[in-house]
Amino acid sequence: MSWFIEALKKYAVFSGRARRKEYWMYMLFNSILYIVFAGVGFAIDFPALAGIFAVATLLPSLGVTIRRLHDTGRTGWWILISVIPLVGFIVMLVFTCSDGQAGENQYGPNPKEVPAFA
């Protein structure tokens, strides 16, 4: 859960790098919370609750995805490939599952080499 909170703290930070663990733990907790909000919204007859949660977490999701792309050495503009059905999903899945570049790259130091919660 700390990875989710950490990504929320950096909700509008689009610079730097995010390691795989940070990205996937954020996505896991974001998905779980979305399902919970959708269920609660359905139970109280307010289905827009899940949509409100999705809009509230839009910037943190974009930020952590762009930082993940930076870790693999790609520009954040690669996120736009996800608008292409199926092909974009597969490409983004490969990019986000790839290991980050070793050492420092143009987007900053390797997050595996610096303490995560300094």
Domain ranges of the chain: 2-97
Beta-bridge mates of residue 108: 105
What's the pTM?
A: 0.88
| pLDDT for residue 118 is more than 80 | no
What single DSSP character describes residue 78?
A: G
Write down the pLDDT at residue 3.
81
Least confident of 12-21, 39-48, 79-88: 12-21
* d(C-alpha 67, C-alpha 9), whole Å: 14
Task: Quote the mean pLDDT of the chain.
Answer: 91
Write down the pLDDT at residue 24.
95
